[in-house]
Structures are given as C-alpha cells and as structure tokens.
Amino acid sequence: MPYADLESAVMGWLHVSEKSARCEARKIAILLFDGFSLLGAGIVAEVFHVANELSGSAKEDAAYDVRFLSADGGHVTCSSSVRVWTDGLDARHYVGFDALFVAGGKGAEVAANDGRIIGWLRQVQSNTATVRSIAEGRKVLDAAGIRGQHDAQGRFGSVMSHVGQDEHGSDSGDRYESMKLALVMIKRDLGREMARRVAERLMPGSAAKLEPLLGDSGAAADKIRAAARWLQENCARPVSVVEAAQVAIMSERNFLRRFKTEMGVTPSDYLLQARLAVTCSLLTDSELPVDKIARRSGMGNGDRLAKIFRKRLLISPTEYRRQSRCDAGG
C-alpha cells in the first residue's frame, strides 16, 4: 500500500466509493507469536473470510485481504499445537494496514523485549488505521508504547461479553473480544445488514443480542464519517475539534463521544494519523526539506515534526526517509 494513497493508508474504516472499495481490498494483518490462541486469531480471519464470501467478491477483488504475519515468517505453532503459515515482517509490510491485530501466546513475552518487533510496530502504526491486541498481545503493544488501543472496551465489550456468557460460557470471552471489532469494520465498509449476516453465519441466533453493536443509527454514523473525511481533506491546515463538530452538526461533547465510538480513535489522533500519512508520503516520494514538508502536512515546523516522529517512530524524519527508500528499493 503506497504512502501516496492517503485514503488507503489512513481511512481504513471510512466508507469509500463503491468503485474504490472494489478496486483495492482492505489490508488486514494478524501478527502471531508461538503459543497464540487459534480461537482468538482464527475468528478474526474467519469474520473477514465470511464477509468476502457473502459479498460475492471474487478472489481478485475481495473486500478484505487477510495476512498472518510473524517475526521471521514460516510456521508458527498455536497453543493447541496447530501450525499456521505466516509471512515475515519484510519490506512489503512496512507501509501500514487498515487494521493490525497483535495476538498473544507465550511468544509475546519474548516479543515484548525484541527490539526488531517493537521497532516494526512503531514504524507501521502511523500508517495503520487501527491496532488491536488479542489476549496477551497487549504486552507487546505496551512495550511498543501503543496505548489506548487494546481489546475494545465500553459498550462493544459489554455487548459481546454478554453474548459470550449467555451462549457459550465465560471462557470464550477472548473469541468475542477478537470478533467484535472485525464486525464493526464490516458494518462500516459493507453495511449493517452484511455485518449481521456474517455474525449469524458464525454465531447463529446472535442478531438480536448484537443489535447494540450492529444497529447503530446510520444517520449519526454518516455524519461522523463526513467529519472524518473533512479532517482528512483539511489536515494540512490548522483545524479544531469545534470545526469538525460543526461539520457533523453535533455538540462538541457529543461529537467527541460518537467519533471515538465510530472511528476507534479521538478526532485529534485521527487528524495526527492523517498528517503523518501525508508526511510519510512526502518524505518517501519527494526531495522537499523537512521543514517545508512539516508546513505542507500541517505539522507546523521541522522541530515539531521531528519530536512527533521520535515519539511515534523512534527515528528522525531524515532517518525515516532513508530507511523507507532503502526498503522500497530492496
């Protein structure tokens, strides 16, 4: 996914035109470590597989492209001794994803102290729309300093926990924690009815209990997505939450709450992701000096841009430019 394609890099959860959606599949990655839960990681992959099947997508233009990744590629063994084939963390995966799930397992403890894996996570997060952990995967995200993006909480968590306890017992919570975000993504990309059909296929009889998760007001969601598009389109200039709330025709308080629910991040974080995507694109594809890139991407100046890069990616903009070009050439 090239940095220049800002919509693909940052707008993983936004509705795009039907033509665009069919032309490029959403990139979904599931990072595995030895001893991971096959149930937790497998249900995520299955949700997107079923969505592709029910939407009638041919393999070449499927709605979702799901990849299993691991540190070195090859087979990774789950907690029940089943081996899963994975791709390695090579240059093809440095550009980011629409969603990245980090699975747990005994290998997560080692990964949390592996500088290569931590560095990779920090590098891709600026061009990944959302990052979520599965079980012990949260330890790896904590080590990478990626906070506030663990297994979705609040309303979605309580809904799925309730379904899990009623139908399958409390020991299946990991399955539902992994499943719910995938369903929300499908709802946003392909519509509420498709998300309900996927849920029913995987968990018959669940539609009624999933109503709080899948039956959200379409009008309010459309307003939030319109505001998100506005933030993307205006990220190069100074913008405020108040302006974005006005685009959505909501009070600031209501807008902040609904935006976090709909998009998975705050408006400020979403705006920063958009600006980082523009910055990465310009660093990779242009010869502009860092200070000019900072002004063009809404980052203010080179000093502020450098601080944000070191905090988010642990490297300077100049180092990022050199490394991204090296990866692209390799």
Residue range 146-187, pLDDT digits in tens: 864 433 333 333 333 344 444 344 334 545 666 778 888 888
CA 118, 268, 272, 26 torsion-angle sign: positive
CATH of residue 258: 1.10.10.60
Kindly state whether residues 204 and 224 are assigned to the same domain.
no
Residue 211 shares a structural domain with residue 234: no
If asked whether residues 189 and 263 sit together in one domain, one would say no
133 and 56 within one domain: yes
User: Which of 193, 216, 239 finishes a domain?
Assistant: 216
Domain boundary among 216, 238, 255: 216
Same domain (yes/no): 212, 292: no
Write down which residue in 161, 194, 216 finishes a domain.
Answer: 216
The answer to whether the CB of 105 falls within 8 A of the CB of 62 is: no
Do residues 168 and 116 both lie within one domain? Answer: yes
CATH number at residue 192: 3.40.50.880
Q: Are residue 81 and residue 63 in the same domain, yes or no?
A: yes
Are 222 and 186 in a shared domain? no
Q: What is the pLDDT of residues 198-231, one digit of tens each?
A: 988 888 876 666 666 665 556 777 888 889 999 9
| Domain of residue 179, residue span | 1-216
Number of domains in the chain: 2
**Does residue 197 sit in the same domain as residue 316?**
no
86 and 207 part of one domain? yes
Q: What whole-number distance in Å separates Cα of residue 111 and Cα of residue 114?
A: 5
Q: What is the pLDDT of residue 195?
A: 86
Does residue 249 surpass a pLDDT of 80? yes
In the predicted structure, residue 30 carries a pLDDT above the cut 60: yes
Pair (230, 202) in one structural domain:
no
Q: What is residue 273's three-state secondary structure?
A: helix
List Cβ<8 Å contacts ≥24 apart for 15-22.
15/188, 15/189, 15/225, 21/63, 21/189, 22/57, 22/61, 22/63
